[in-house]
Amino acid sequence: MWVYEKKLLYPVEVTTCNPMLAKYLMEQYGGADGELAAALRYMNQRYTVPDKVIGVLTDISTEEFSHLEMLATMIYKLTKDATPEQLEKAGLGAHFVNHGHSLFYENAGGVPFTATYIQSKGDPIADLYEDIAAEEKARATYQWLIDISDDPGVSDALRFLRERENIHSLRFRESVEILKEERDRKKIF
């Protein structure tokens, strides 16, 4: 199903060690509206949507995994040279004690990822509206991350991710219209 290229979807340049920024990025890494939740949500929902939109969910889910890889790269680069004292000062002391410099799916508050973040109703139109909301929440979070980032390379990658969320939202909106048109079409037997 997938072909893996050994390169990021978009280059990630990090100029400084900044554990606090890494902590904030964890919201998109393992938070409720983050990339892991989105990728799993869309991959799961693709099994209960009409054939006309399966490809959209598969494509976007796959791309969300590449966004997750970009975030992991940013978080790792922002923390790899941090001392335990710097991590503790950034609020990552408990993370360091449990995981060292390893990444772990958790949000910015340190709450571990949970499957309850993944929504799937089984109604294609309801699920697609949920997906639109998820993309818009991710877009907003990326904007807020850009607003607090002081690293030009990280900000550049975050802008790329924010714009991809806009595209995903548009593709889901198009899919809703396709399904509504099909639903509302007169059927003659």
- The CATH number that applies at residue 132 is 1.20.1260.10
Per residue in 78-118, pLDDT (tens digit) is 999 999 999 999 999 999 999 999 999 999 999 999 999 99
- What pLDDT shows up at residue 96? 93
- What pLDDT shows up at residue 182? 84
Which segments are annotated as binding site for Ca(2+)? 59
- What pLDDT shows up at residue 90? 96
Which segments are annotated as binding site for Mn(2+)? 35, 64, 67, 135, 168
The answer to whether residue 14 sits within a structural domain is: no
Write phi, then psi, for 112 (nearest 5 degrees): -65, 150
Q: Is 70 exceeded by the pLDDT of residue 184?
A: yes
The answer to whether residue 2 sits within a structural domain is: no
* DSSP 8-state assignment for residue 10: S
Which segments are annotated as binding site? 35, 59, 64, 67, 135, 168
- What pLDDT shows up at residue 189? 67
Domain count, the chain: 1
The answer to whether residue 1 sits within a structural domain is: no
The answer to whether residue 7 sits within a structural domain is: no
Token pair belonging to 42: 């869309």
pTM > 0.75: yes or no:
yes
Euclidean distance between CA atoms 13 and 151, whole angstroms: 9
Tell me which residue range forms the domain holding 116.
19-182
The answer to whether residue 63 sits within a structural domain is: yes
The answer to whether residue 6 sits within a structural domain is: no
The answer to whether residue 174 sits within a structural domain is: yes
The answer to whether residue 8 sits within a structural domain is: no
